[in-house]
């Protein structure tokens, strides 16, 4: 095996010296009640409410649903996986598929608990198939709720058949470390599609995309969002009945008073 210029240090041995950073950082998963509180909150509403709270960079730009069925959505606590660029003196890709089992990619899957959302930072790579059939299959068997990848997946037909909700930027025939990236660390803070995701944050994803909700803000977002959505449903009904847009959206003034009176009557 070639040494990449390091006498007595084959590529896989050099890579194994980097497995220390792959260890998970301690974090607290959100409670089941907190996840449940956000279950009926849309990504758009969560994003808007966080913006009003001064947390403005929550949209994970790029990933879209791999499954195009109407109504696809997930809510759950984030576990994270970080990919970094390959470098020839550390890890060039030779023999990498076998080496992957010693990396954060395998480790994060072994850490999955029921309801987790796996969030993968892959630098929007078009060439890295972060997950494929076998890995997604194992994720499902561990009880994972869904996956958000700012990059690509492979084995698209088989992965779709598994029914795991996945948000990604597309598909590729490549496996995880075949080209430009390698799995470096898991359950550490990651940048995904321009948003910071820390382990234990909540992810709300639907047909509008994926949004990260900080755990400490999640209950306030849930409570305000459900009220917001109830107001919008009232406005939607009034518009369908022939009401004027300016009277019912946004719901203020006389329209808001009408809404409050209707709630009181119920």
Report the C-alpha gap between 128 and 25 in whole angstroms. Answer: 25
How much is the pLDDT for 93?
58
Report the C-alpha gap between 134 and 165 in whole angstroms. Answer: 15
Q: Which residue, chain included where needed, has tokens 């010296």?
A: 17
What residues does CATH 3.50.30.40 cover in the chain?
11-214
How much is the pLDDT for 199?
97
Q: Look up the pTM and report it.
A: 0.84
**Three-state SS across 115-154?**
CCEEEEECCCCCCCECCCHHHHHHHHHCCCCEEEECCEEC
CA dist 22 → 110, 171, 180, 186 (Å): 13, 26, 18, 6
List residues bridging with 167 in a β-sheet.
65, 148
Identify whether the C-beta of residue 111 lies closer than 8 Å to the C-beta of residue 84: no
How much is the pLDDT for 7?
34
Q: Which residues of the chain have pLDDT under 50?
A: 1-15, 17-21
Alpha helices (H) in the chain, listed in sequence order:
11-16, 32-38, 43-52, 96-99, 104-110, 133-141, 156-162, 218-240, 245-248, 253-265
How much is the pLDDT for 227?
84
How much is the pLDDT for 68?
80
How much is the pLDDT for 98?
63
Q: At what angle do helices 43-52 and 218-240 cross, to 10 degrees?
A: 120
How much is the pLDDT for 158?
97
Identify whether the C-beta of residue 208 lies closer than 8 Å to the C-beta of residue 111: no
For the domain covering 11-214, report its CATH number.
Answer: 3.50.30.40
């Amino acid at each position: 095996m070639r040494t990449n210029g390091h006498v007595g240090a084959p590529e896989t041995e050099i890579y194994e010296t980097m497995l220390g950073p792959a260890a998970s950082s301690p974090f607290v998963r959100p409670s089941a009640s907190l996840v449940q509180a956000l279950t009926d909150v849309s990504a758009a509403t969560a994003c808007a409410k966080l913006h009003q709270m001064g947390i403005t960079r929550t949209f994970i730009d790029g990933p879209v649903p791999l499954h195009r069925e109407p109504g696809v959505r997930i809510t759950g606590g984030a576990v994270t996986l970080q990919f970094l660029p390959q470098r020839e003196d550390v890890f060039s890709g030779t023999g990498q598929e076998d080496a992957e089992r010693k990396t954060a990619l395998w480790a994060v899957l072994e850490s999955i608990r029921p309801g987790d959302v796996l969030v993968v930072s892959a630098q929007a790579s078009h060439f890295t198939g972060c997950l494929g059939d076998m890995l997604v299959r194992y994720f499902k068997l561990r009880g994972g709720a869904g996956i958000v990848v700012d990059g690509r997946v492979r084995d698209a037909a088989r992965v779709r058949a598994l029914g795991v909700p996945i948000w990604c930027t597309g598909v590729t025939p490549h496996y995880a470390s075949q080209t430009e990236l390698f799995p470096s660390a898991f359950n550490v803070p990651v940048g995904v599609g321009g948003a910071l995701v820390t382990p234990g944050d909540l992810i709300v994803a639907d047909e509008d995309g994926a949004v990260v909700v900080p755990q400490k803000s999640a209950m306030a977002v849930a409570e305000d969002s459900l009220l917001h959505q109830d107001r919008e449903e009232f406005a939607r009904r009034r518009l369908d009945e022939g009401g004027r847009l300016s009277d019912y959206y946004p719901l203020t003034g006389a329209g808001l008073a009408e809404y409050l009176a209707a709630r009181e009557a119920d």
